[in-house]
Amino acid sequence: MMQVAIFDLDNTLIAGDSDCLWGEFLTEKGVVDARHYAAEHEKYYQDYLQGKLDINEFLSFQLAELGKHDIDTLEQWREQFIDEKIKPVILEQAKVLVNQHREQDHELLIITATNRFLTEPIAKLFGIKHLIACEPEMIDGKYTGNATGTPSYAEGKVSRYHAWLEQQDIDTCESWFYSDSRNDIPLLQVVDHPVAVDPDDLLRQTAKNNHWQIITLRD
What is the residue type of 103?
E
| Residue spans per domain, the chain | 2-215
Alpha carbon 7 to its chain centroid, in Å, reads: 8
DSSP 114-159: EEHHHHHHHHHHTT--EEEEEEEEEETTEEEEEEES---STHHHHH
Cβ atoms within 10 Å, residue 115: 23
Q: So what CATH class is 2-215? A: alpha beta
Question: Are the C-beta atoms of 134 and 151 separated by less than 8 Å?
Answer: yes
Query: Which of 110, 95, 157, 31 lies closest to 118, judged by CA?
Result: 110
Q: 46-88: per-residue pLDDT in tens?
A: 998 898 999 999 999 999 999 999 999 999 999 999 999 999 9
Q: Reply yes or no on whether 8 is catalytic.
A: yes
Question: Are the C-beta atoms of 23 and 194 separated by less than 8 Å?
Answer: no
Q: Is 19 helix (H, G, I), strand (E, B) or coil?
A: helix
From the candidates 10, 17, 180, 200, give the one annotated as an active-site residue. Answer: 10
For the chain, first and last CA: distance in Å? 34
Q: Reply yes or no on whether 70 is catalytic.
A: no
pTM of the model: 0.96
Sheet strands side by side (includes 142-148): 142-148, 130-139, 107-115, 2-7, 173-179, 193-197, 213-215
Asked whether the predicted pLDDT for residue 36 surpasses 90, the reply is: no
Q: 154-208: per-residue pLDDT in tens?
A: 999 999 999 999 999 998 899 999 999 999 999 999 999 999 999 999 999 999 9
Give the confidence band of 45 by pLDDT, cuts at 50, 70, 90: confident
Cβ atoms within 10 Å, residue 104: 9
From the candidates 8, 17, 180, 200, give the one annotated as an active-site residue. Answer: 8
